[in-house]
Amino acid sequence: KAGVTQTPRYLIKTRGQQVTLSCSPISGHRSVSWYQQTPGQGLQFLFEYFSETQRNKGNFPGRFSGRQFSNSRSEMNVSTLELGDSALYLCASSLESTSAQYFGPGTRLTVT
Amino acid sequence: KQEVTQIPAALSVPEGENLVLNCSFTDSAIYNLQWFRQDPGKGLTSLLLIQSSQREQTSGRLNASLDKSSGRSTLYIAASQPGDSATYLCAVYTNAGKSTFGDGTTLTVKP
């Protein structure tokens, strides 16, 4: 069974731009969660989608948004990028919200 | 608010040693606790998942225990190898529907 895939793997953007990251979960998994990982803040929960509905949201500004499609693939969008948005963005999928999470390799976003 | 602490932050051991990594959490209302390893610049690899009703889980040389009432979990690694060198993270999934991660323990196993 293929694992969680994330595209692109690396991205360089300038301040003020917007970016869209993509995540394809393991086949059959309906829950997709997004996390931001930085050296200073560690791993922080962004949001979780289940069956195309956002179930939970972390403490991030409204510039961070996401969606999930009927095939469970998910996208995350960050608008008006700031330097502090530079991070590794990780996506995790699970069968149900309370099941084991399986992570993708991440997208490394650099904002200049 | 759930807080997860992992002690120590870094650990260096000689190859072959048995070791224990610790994870503590403040809110015992959890669904499960999951241990991961992360290699530099990579994503997280799931190691073990313990449901709130379970006391321990084992996989190969790894054994994880959970004491929900005291807010503690341990990850025991037997006969450590240089390939075990990585950062180990624990995460608790709470009734609030969110996962909270610790900052991890960076393990170095010296040949």
Per-residue pLDDT reduced to its tens digit, A42-69: 999 999 999 999 998 999 999 999 999 9
Contacts of A103 in chain B (CB under 8 A): 36, 43-46
- Cβ–Cβ of B42/A106 closer than 8 Å? yes
What Rg do the C-alpha atoms of chain A give, in angstroms?
13
Residue B51's φ and ψ, nearest 5 degrees, are: -75, 160
Predicted pLDDT at A31: 93
In this structure, what token pair is assigned to residue A71? 């095939």
Is residue A85 within 8 Å of A110, Cβ to Cβ?
A: no
Predicted pLDDT at B94: 85
The predicted-structure confidence for A63-98, as pLDDT tens digits, reads as follows 999 999 999 999 999 999 999 999 999 999 999 878
Query: Across all residues in chain B, what is the average pLDDT?
Result: 94
pLDDT category, A99, cuts 50, 70, 90?
confident
Helices (H), chain A: none
pLDDT category, B5, cuts 50, 70, 90?
very high
- Cβ–Cβ of A101/B89 closer than 8 Å? no
Predicted pLDDT at B8: 92
Under an 8 Å CB criterion, which residues of A touch B?
A: 4, 33, 35, 42-45, 48, 55-56, 58, 88, 90, 92, 97-106, 108
Question: How deeply is A3 buried, as exposed, middle or buried, from its count of CB atoms within 10 A (0-12, 13-18, 19+)?
Answer: middle
Query: Across all residues in chain A, what is the average pLDDT?
Result: 95
